[in-house]
Amino acid sequence: MNPILVEATRGGIVESAHRGALAIVDADGAAVCTIGDTARPVFARSAVKVLQALPLVTSGAADAFALTDEELALACASHNGQARHVAVAASVLAKAGLDESALECGVQWPSHEVAQREWAESRRPLGALHNNCSGKHAGFLCVGCLMARAQGREPREFVRGYVRADHPVMREVSAALQAATGCDLARAPAGTDGCSIPTYGIALAQLALAFARVATGVGLSPERARAAARLRAAVARAPFFVAGSGRFDTKVMQRLGERVFCKVGAEGVFCAALPEQGLGVAIKIDDGNTARAAEVAMAAAIEALVRLSDDERAFVRGLSDVTLKNWNGIETGALRATAALRDALPAHS
């Protein structure tokens, strides 16, 4: 039974509570903190997009297509589908000689209010470019186009079906994921993600290890280590493109820069790489609540682990102990990391 990590209060009592597990691991695989069951396979979902984007750099595609920081950040993103996200995804595809029709991620109604309002005002038809995964898929397509060139194949033909586990592009993506996590994906639970690529059940301890490797490069091949560092730097320079307006990942990386690389996933999964500490963090909320529970737990972990100024600490505390207000702006309660979580996290050194 995992402990309660996050609770929502109203009128002085707990209204709802979120159980979950959390792993903090160093690049040697040593557990720095284990809360709840961190051995159970958890579908990593979008939390591992930075691992899935490693082949974009290691293949040479990022250089061949002269991708910018914004474009690399979008390849690691679960973006809002705001106009700037859509434009940058289209730009990546254009550099590879493709367009929106090559995307196999499906058309998604924007999940966040700001994007819904932007879309409503743009009166542009909703397309696959709006899908929160369009940047990741555009990155996959760049890898595929480069492979096609190398083999003298017609790129559009070659990339078709790139979302399938047995496609050459997806084999590269899975190889990077397997190398970083140390998880044997052939034996892992396998499912289909929201954007139609495979997603694998991986222990939180392995996910945290992968992010410690992303943080340090230790345990990765030199090419993958350099690629991870480049992607982290790109996201730190263009954090709007990894999520968007009002989003946790964007706010945290806008404020803390390269000290934190964090990436949210569906169903309450959240991973982070902390380069200064050489640590990786992986969280899963049992009930799948990402937007309030996994984010609050991650904020508490960042608060405990990362060196912060007083102002930065107050900023992060505002994400781990959130005042809830209603439609009239009246305070109704709070969303906060529990004492059980805070006490189990390592004390700040």
Give the interface with a copy of itself as residue ranges (CB under 8 A): 1, 8, 10-13, 15-19, 41, 43, 104-109, 113, 116, 119-121, 131, 189-196, 199, 201, 267-268, 285-289, 293, 326-333
CB 88 within 8 A of CB 251: no
CB of 192 to a copy of itself, least distance (A): 5
Nearer to a copy of itself, 119 or 248 (CB): 119
DSSP helix/strand/coil, 334? strand
CB of residue 227 to a copy of itself, shortest distance in Å: 28
Distance CA 233, CA 315 (A): 22
Measured from the CB of residue 200, what is the shortest distance to a copy of itself in angstroms?
A: 8
Residue with structure tokens 């695989």? 29
**Which residue's CB is nearer to a copy of itself, number 6 or number 316?**
6
Q: Which two tokens stand for residue 165?
A: 């586990």
> Which residues are paired to 42 by β-bridges?
202
Work out how close the CB of 214 gets to a copy of itself at its nearest, in angstroms, rounded to a whole number.
24
Considering the complex, what minimum distance in angstroms separates the CB of residue 270 from a copy of itself?
14
Shortest Å, Cβ 13 to a copy of itself = 5
Show the tokens assigned to 68.
Answer: 């910018």
Structure tokens at 147: 């492979």
Closest C-alpha to 264, from 238, 288, 236, 230:
288
Nearer to a copy of itself, 12 or 222 (CB): 12
Q: Burial of 348 by CB count in 10 Å (0-12 exposed, 13-18 middle, 19+ buried)? A: exposed
C-alpha to C-alpha distances, 122 to 114, 116, 310, nearest whole angstrom:
12, 10, 41
